[in-house]
Structure 1
Amino acid sequence: MSEFSLGQRWLSETETSLGLGIITHIDGRQVTVMFPSNGESRIYASHDAPLARLQLSEGQQAKHADDWSFTITDVKEQSGLLIYFGQRLDDQSEVMVPESQLSHQIDINPALTRLVAGNADRHDLYLLRNQASEFYARWQQSPVAGLLGARIGLLPHQLYVSHTVAERYHPRVLLADEVGLGKTIEAGMVMQRRLLTGRNHRVLVIVPESLRNQWLVEMRRRFALTFSVFDEERCQQLSDEGANPFFAEQLIIVSDQFVAAGEWQSQLQQAEFDLLVVDEAHHMQAGTAGYEHTEALCQNISDVLLLTATPEQEGSEGHFQRLRLLDPNRFNSLDDFQQQQSHYRELAEQASQLTGEALDQLLDQHSTGRVMFRNRRKHIGGFPQRHLHSYALPEFMPESGEPWWLEDPRVSWLMDFLKAQKPHKTLLICHSAEQVLDLSEALRVMAGVHAAVFHEGMSLLERDRAAAFFASDEDGSPILLCSEIGSEGRNFQFVQHLVLFDLPENPDLLEQRIGRLDRIGQQGDVHIHVPYLQHSDEALLLDWYHLGMNAFEQCNPVGRQVYEAERDALQRALNSAESLPDDLLQRTRNYHQQLVQETEAGRDKLQELNACRPEAAAQLIQHINNDADADALYDFMESFWDRFGVNTEVLDEHRMFVKPSEHMRVPAIPGLAEDGMTITVDRDTALAFEDIEFLSWDHPHVQAAIELLTTEDFGSVCVARLQNKALPAGAWFLELDYVTEVPRSDNIAAQEFYPQQRLRILLDSQGRDLSDKVPRDALTQQASFLDKKTARQIVRQLRDSAQQFIQQQQPTAEAWLQQRIEQACDQAQQRLSQQKQRLVALKEKNPAVRDDEINAIDARQTAVMQALKQPTLSLFAIRILVNQT
């Protein structure tokens, strides 16, 4: 150890986080070191102080206490102090810096700092650190990063839509898959991929009031995305603190009623959201406050997803107004829009004759798929059969002053039906909350049945409790009574019996009601029960739907158009006729068949072809299956939990319970629940047990583990024993791992072109480069554990030589870095230029290509090229291997 002198700079070997210390007092057997970074001082015994002298070398960069940097060109010693001569980085002037004037914050690499301080970790922690870096680089380069961890079955149409939308630089699209095909899942996957890859950072979701909690739970359960629900009360509490309340969280859910009220509109617009998601978008009607406030948000937020299963529920004009939210320049004339919609049959006929690239080119040039994705149930497959059961009941005249349900034959029928249904569950939907409450009272009084109820007058918590009460197998209700809101958003795939106590006039509402049961995940046939009074409105509507459109037993995508054409005639029949007029039924049947044929041949055919391209979807599924690498993930996380003090208990072949212990290396690890959690890495198990965590490379806990290992200094320096009889005893090797990556930047996803990259250099004790001759695995197989005391002794003995070798390798590492930068710049320039050329060419034939899409590519190219000029290069890990035979 060097003799101590006032002003020298030393590192604490046991507390490297204290930064660079300075000798302030020497008193015989004791030396005092002050650490300016936090103002603390330590007194050490001079003869065995756990201190390491910081001695920088020629070629290294250092920082002055006044916060400017310089490159060292020469080092001299004067009166026990080191004097550094060098050149400032900012103005290239020559400088002379005594070591006492160095910055207190060490800018040299953490691995090098620990080497200088004589610290070393266990060999297995070093290996885990390198594994984490390798896995992270692999994840960054995966085309399905962000899609790996969705708790979903791998359905081609969902994956294709999600990946396609997520890859656009600024997506603005309408997700309009038919009822039951998983639009919420698609939106969740888009959000997860874009958030994890840095394309988006702040998300605002607008949903109907009744679906706020369901979205909250669905995003957490399926995608491990933690949203926060904001309402008037929460905003008021946060605004009392003086700041915009919406900056308090990154992922926020609000209700459409909250937006329509407009009280917090200015704060919403100023909150710098970069992705807006609007569920049940068909509720928005032009001219209303809700539409206008949402329109303002769409103008202010770059990326927008609108979700609706019934895009034309409010007619073609309503559909046009929603498309205007996505691109007001493109959709500026309703007449032009309607004319374009009529030209798709000829294109669909061309498409049916094409395959491969030719088909892709046609769809790119002419399809509405750049704005709207709509998959149809009949082409997806996997849905249950739907069966209609109708029950004609006699008319009745309720006695004045008595509750209607005392005499209504439908109520008596319902009680008999529930008795016969045991133990099966039944969902009943009717029009109003008043009917729900009356039916609940009727079942309680007349049959002793405690029915779960669900209507708009209930709070979100009450609705959630009602849904849980209905779902419970042990003591749950046999029936859930829903008002019309029960036909939107809530899903009940575990139920096979649906009672329609009345029928809506709107075919889209009927389809939404049935769609609560008839959706992906339904394991049995769906039975639709319609009790109706003879000569009632329901009797006429039943025939109109069933005989005119077969709307109960098949999905009815054109029902809205039929309704628009026959609305007046249907209303006259409901007002006066005792049975459905034959001419109305015949017109309905003929027009329905005509529309089905047209949509099969025309616009819907093109949308169907564009919304899921099977070959691309199959490649995505293959990538997910390969890149998930569940075995490697499980082994990695098991090693992580073991090294970081997390308790584990194997429950069965696919499940494990993990819980923080009192002896963890760090106080808390993100994504790990304080009271523990059951985990699985198996997708089938995760789908079967939705209350357990599905770990993937996307999961917050896995990402936190990787970040902890790659950004902190755990395992950054280690010493291992070699036992190789072919080598002389005492022979040693220095293995260096350099890492380069671009700084994380907003929205441009530069890591797509420059993922984290690694350089390995292996040197022998003479400084000779053996990197190409001796693979890492060959050394690792021969390496074994060395106790901490011996390891520290070896580090102290070899650190001067090691530092010298590291300095000598700096030009090699920098040359490698420059080569990586040049390759990445060429790749980014080529790929982004091709993307722009493609869109420019498409815009000549497809007006759905927006100008801002093209401009966004230019902006991204500029930002990416700038980011690629400043990747970091760091010495990530150091391994010293000493042969002991």
Structure 2
Amino acid sequence: MQFIPGQRWLSETEMEQGLGMVSQLQGRMVTVLFPVTGEFRHYAMNEAPLARYRLLVDEQGHHGDGWSFRVTQVDEQDGLLTYHGIRDDSDEAVVVPEAQLAAQVATNHPLTRILAGKVDRLDMYQLRQQAQQHLHNWQSSPAAGLIGARADLLPHQLYVASQIADRHHPRVLLADEVGLGKTIEAGLILQRRLLTGRSERILIVVPDSLAHQWLVELLRRFNLGFSLFDVERCEQAALDGDAIFASEQLVLIPQSLLANPIWSGELFEVSWDLLIVDEAHQLAPTEKSFALLQQLTQHIPSVLLLTATPEQAGLEAHFARLQLLDPDRFNDFEAFIEEQESYQALVPKAEALANSGQLEALDELLDSYGTGRVMFRNSRRHIGGFPNRHLQVTELDEGDALLKRFEWLVALLKSHKNEKFVLICKSSELVLALHEMLRVQQGIHAAVFHEGLSLVERDRAAAYFASPEDGCQLLLCSEIGSEGRNFQFAQHLILFDLPRHPDLLEQRIGRLDRLGQKDDIYIHVPVVANSAEQILFAWYEAMNAFTQTNAIGAMLHQHFAPALEQLIDSQANADFDQDLFETTLQETRDLAAKMRVAADAGRDRLQELNAFRPHQMNTLLEAIKTIQQAAELELFMLSFWDRFGLEFDRLNDESGWLYPTEQMRIPMAGLPEEGLTVTFSRSYALAHEDVTFLSWDHPLVQQALELLTRDTFGSTAVALLQNRALTAGAWFIELQFSSVVLAPKQLAVQEFYPHHSFRVLLDGQARDLTDKVAPGVLDKHLQFLDKKQARLLLKQLRSECQQAIQTAWKPAELQQQKAIERAAEQVNTQLSTDLNRLLKLQQTNPLVRESEIAAVKQRREELLAAFEQPLLQLDSVRIMVNMPA
């Protein structure tokens, strides 16, 4: 190496030092100044780990004053380089001695790494190429964001989510009946909007009693870490001095905070993208909280309201909630009533079209249906697939109620030894008492599940119960402790006592009676003579609450609660009123029958048909099937963990323990030091809620894709090619160029132009072999080369590689241009179709807002404009040298 003061060199061992300059020669030593750090390094000339930095014609250089230029000519005199070029910002001709080059260089750029002799292992390079393809497939899939939920992917939920998630500022009422999964639908919509960039800052409002359940569900089912802001958290945040809610992107608040005059006002200091309100019917239009909610819906562009009983509080309250979504459209209650009645005339025609399979005509009719665009309500009858309920009641003699029921429980468990039972009772105190009695008196070990347990303890209890190999037969749950958990793998439910409210009874039964339950369920009820349970049981049976879903239970309770309380009190005081009892039961039967007839008559069949159109699901279901191949994901992640220093110990065919080691290359967000149990199987994850479910949507997988497509891992490699058909010493260079289109996140440009990777293969004479040698063909002939040998080869081929990289840009740009043209054509075709559909729809359905139409037009225009300036970058380089054995 010939060193001359003023030359620019790269350090092969300290690339982060930037571009160095030879400052002094003394004997056999050379001193290099690195201006980025201000440090000097002294090297022996014949062993200096330095690489000469030389720009080629057409490469971009950067001046020390901050401007850049395109090289047009390179002169060398007395060992020093002078660059002639054109400034990028002014087209001015410039002359730049190499000493004036900027000291900071892109140390992560593959060319810089090649010049500095930095190489990765061959398998890391191959893993990077896999990640490029996986990211492309995931970004372009309509299933992105819809596959990561720890839930069965049910068609009606997927339909609702897919219809809403991609809308421009959706404003919708999710009103599926109990047990159909409104929370899952909201979570799917939320996750897809977050992962595609359509939403970033979310506010969720839930009843106070459900706040922690929502936090757990969002984390467990969707891997979304929301922050709960109650009064205490708000007071703490106020001490920091900034806007209360500015510190977090994902915020959940209890409903009561809306009524707080201090903290509710702070909600308007932040620009939220999406508002979700659970149990929206609990906020009456006459309350102050409702007025605050109304202001929020005007402040936030996207709104999801959730309620299973949209009309329970009357049509006026239902209309008021629709006004929250679209006050311009819903401005006249009388006109709304007339319109709803007129739509019923369409039902026979819709039924006929559905039955005859005239689906296109049916879609056209449903599209014209008024509230169908802002309200989605699936019914259990329409969706189907629910298990049959079987009531098994046992009448017990009068006496100590707890002792009588305990003896009955032991006998029941012993007569069904190989079956799983879920027992639900009112309190955690009773759960603990039963657990101790079973253990001490009978040697029966049961899992316990109540509100006093931590999240981890609940997970362990659920896992202990779920395990088919070494799990227990019985799970003891308190009323609150069972909320939000589903135990579809069990078919037996024990109602050890009975709640006072029909909705609580339905909620208990709903732990087993859910979509996904493959068998009939058996409801076991012990009834002790002359007890409160005897009265409650007779009343519930009068309304058929055990053997069928009970949507009218709350209304019946409102009507009969005083009489019920009087009966229970009179029995406790030994002056039971038998006449009142018989009268109450008969009136319950009569009123329940009338209510069910009225509910069936008022059943909105158009709403049901509109909320789920199975024939429109084929494309999405096929996309889910394609991207949800667990084996492909597992193979990729196992390779990633192996290369990045994570250990995976397989526990069984479906799961394993993932934990960091001392060799871990980079911290992994969401991976605790002690590790965690993971699975790629959805069914296994559903049966074992303590196990982390990995999909392409999961943060750990997304982090792996990001590391391998944005960082330098695997960006340079040198491999040995052993092919007797080729000349010894022949070499090839394979270049991968990444291409992206930069656009605002809310445009979701990746759906039309996902992350692209373009391959160019050149031989040693810079001949383009890309079309002649398919990707992966040479891989079978390649062998690993240790870093020392690889660096020696790179030193010999350094200038040739730099020249080859320059040559490869043109074919890469041609590939990019073709991809851009295809994407632009897709944008024009799809968005023009969407626009024409909305314009046509607007003629019959006034709920199509002008803003929606304008948004489609704007998205089309902005995407096409963004396509005019795609960003092409050299991503990775692999050099292959032929040395036959």
Query: Aligned ranges for residues 562-577 of structure 1 at < 5 Å?
Result: none
Letter in 2 for 1:258: L
Letter in 2 for 1:21: G
SS at match of 2:200: coil
Q: CA shift at 1:223, angstroms?
A: 2.2
Q: Which residue of 2 aligns with 1:609?
A: 609
Query: Aligned ranges for residues 544-563 of structure 1 at < 5 Å?
Result: 546-547=541-542, 550-557=544-551
Long gaps (5+) in structure 2: 415-420, 466-470, 568-576
Q: Which residue of 2 aligns with 1:81?
A: 80
Contact 1:262 1:293 in 2 (8 A): no
Long gaps (5+) in structure 1: 395-406, 430-435
Contact 2:139 2:754 in 1 (8 A): yes
Letter in 2 for 1:805: A
The CA RMSD over aligned residues, in Å, is 3.9
Contact 2:15 2:107 in 1 (8 A): no
Shift in alpha-carbon separation, 1:775–1:492, aligned structure 2, 3 A: closer
Q: CA shift at 1:563, angstroms?
A: 8.8
Letter in 2 for 1:362: L
Q: Which residue of 2 aligns with 1:242?
A: 241
Q: Is 2:269 aligned against 1:264? A: no
Q: Is 2:627 aligned against 1:627? A: yes
SS at match of 1:698: coil
- TM-score of the two chains, using structure 2 as the length reference: 0.86
Give, in whole Å, the separation in 2 of the partners of 1:14 and 1:21. 12
Stretch of structure 1 that moved more, 75-84 or 567-576: 567-576
Q: CA shift at 1:486, angstroms?
A: 7.9
Contact 1:742 1:754 in 2 (8 A): yes
Contact 1:734 1:765 in 2 (8 A): yes
Query: Aligned ranges for residues 153-232 of structure 1 at < 5 Å?
Result: 153-232=152-231
Q: CA shift at 1:79, angstroms?
A: 4.6
For residue 423 of structure 2, the aligned residue among 412, 416, 426 is 426
Q: CA shift at 1:590, angstroms?
A: 6.0
Contact 1:503 1:538 in 2 (8 A): no
Taking only the aligned residue pairs, the percentage that are identical comes to 46
Contact 1:109 1:874 in 2 (8 A): no
Give, in whole Å, the separation in 2 of the partners of 1:334 and 1:468. 52
Q: CA shift at 1:130, angstroms?
A: 0.8
Q: Is 2:658 aligned against 1:658? A: yes
Q: Which residue of 1 aligns with 2:640?
A: 640
For residue 374 of structure 1, the aligned residue among 369, 377, 383 is 377
Q: CA shift at 1:617, angstroms?
A: 3.5
Q: Which residue of 1 aligns with 2:93?
A: 94
Give, in whole Å, the separation in 1 of the partners of 2:339 and 2:456. 44
Q: Which residue of 2 aligns with 1:712?
A: 711
Give, in whole Å, the separation in 2 of the partners of 1:299 and 1:368. 19
Query: Aligned ranges for residues 648-687 of structure 1 at < 5 Å?
Result: 648-666=648-666, 668-687=667-686
Letter in 1 for 2:514: R
Q: Which residue of 1 aligns with 2:808?
A: 809
SS at match of 2:821: helix
Shift in alpha-carbon separation, 1:776–1:619, aligned structure 2, 3 A: closer
Shift in alpha-carbon separation, 1:246–1:44, aligned structure 2, 3 A: farther
Stretch of structure 1 that moved more, 799-808 or 441-450: 441-450
Stretch of structure 1 that moved more, 143-152 or 96-105: 96-105
Query: Aligned ranges for residues 200-599 of structure 1 at < 5 Å?
Result: 200-354=199-353, 355-366=358-369, 368-388=371-391, 422=413, 424-428=421-425, 480=477, 482=479, 496-498=493-495, 501=498, 503-504=500-501, 511-512=506-507, 514-522=509-517, 525-527=521-523, 529=525, 546-547=541-542, 550-557=544-551, 579-580=582-583, 588=591, 591-592=594-595, 594-599=597-602
Q: CA shift at 1:125, angstroms?
A: 1.3
Q: CA shift at 1:133, angstroms?
A: 0.6
SS at match of 1:343: helix
SS at match of 1:268: helix
Q: Which residue of 2 aligns with 1:855?
A: 854
Stretch of structure 1 that moved more, 409-418 or 648-657: 409-418
Aligned length: 852
Letter in 2 for 1:664: M
Q: Report Cα offsets for 1:666-685 as digits up to 9, x if no partner.
A: 3x123433212222222222
Letter in 2 for 1:623: A
Letter in 1 for 2:494: H
Q: CA shift at 1:462, angstroms?
A: 7.8
Shift in alpha-carbon separation, 1:654–1:476, aligned structure 2, 3 A: closer
SS at match of 1:148: coil
Q: Which residue of 1 aligns with 2:570?
A: none
Q: CA shift at 1:877, angstroms?
A: 1.3
Stretch of structure 1 that moved more, 762-771 or 812-821: 812-821
Contact 1:750 1:868 in 2 (8 A): no
Shift in alpha-carbon separation, 1:350–1:538, aligned structure 2, 3 A: farther
SS at match of 2:324: helix
Q: Report Cα offsets for 1:324-374 as digits up to 9, x if no partner.
A: 222222222222222222233222211112232222222222153321222
Contact 2:431 2:477 in 1 (8 A): no
Q: Which residue of 2 aligns with 1:147?
A: 146
Shift in alpha-carbon separation, 1:256–1:533, aligned structure 2, 3 A: farther
Stretch of structure 1 that moved more, 223-232 or 48-57: 223-232
Letter in 2 for 1:515: G
Stretch of structure 1 that moved more, 296-305 or 870-879: 296-305
Q: CA shift at 1:77, angstroms?
A: 2.8
Q: CA shift at 1:730, angstroms?
A: 0.8
Q: Report Cα offsets for 1:246-287 as digits up to 9, x if no partner.
A: 333332222222333243234333333312222222211223
Give, in whole Å, the separation in 2 of the partners of 1:710 and 1:439. 55
Give, in whole Å, the separation in 2 of the partners of 1:286 and 1:113. 65
Query: Aligned ranges for residues 717-796 of structure 1 at < 5 Å?
Result: 717-743=716-742, 745-796=744-795
Shift in alpha-carbon separation, 1:343–1:533, aligned structure 2, 3 A: farther
Give, in whole Å, the separation in 2 of the partners of 1:258 and 1:420. 49
SS at match of 1:321: helix
Give, in whole Å, the separation in 2 of the partners of 1:466 and 1:671. 20
Q: CA shift at 1:502, angstroms?
A: 5.4
Q: CA shift at 1:110, angstroms?
A: 0.9
Letter in 2 for 1:598: A
SS at match of 2:105: coil
Q: Which residue of 1 aligns with 2:18?
A: 19
Contact 2:493 2:509 in 1 (8 A): no
Give, in whole Å, the separation in 1 of the partners of 2:473 and 2:596. 43
Contact 2:538 2:585 in 1 (8 A): no
Stretch of structure 1 that moved more, 718-727 or 339-348: 339-348
Q: Which residue of 2 aligns with 1:115?
A: 114
SS at match of 1:555: coil
Give, in whole Å, the separation in 1 of the partners of 2:27 and 2:115. 25
Stretch of structure 1 that moved more, 8-17 or 120-129: 8-17
Contact 1:231 1:258 in 2 (8 A): yes
SS at match of 1:247: coil
SS at match of 1:11: strand
Give, in whole Å, the separation in 1 of the partners of 2:218 and 2:566. 45
Q: CA shift at 1:621, angstroms?
A: 3.4
Shift in alpha-carbon separation, 1:776–1:754, aligned structure 2, 3 A: same
Contact 1:64 1:103 in 2 (8 A): yes
- TM-score of the two chains, using structure 1 as the length reference: 0.86
Q: CA shift at 1:218, angstroms?
A: 2.0
Letter in 2 for 1:643: R
Q: Which residue of 1 aligns with 2:571?
A: none
Contact 2:16 2:107 in 1 (8 A): no
Give, in whole Å, the separation in 1 of the partners of 2:782 and 2:431. 73
Letter in 2 for 1:611: A
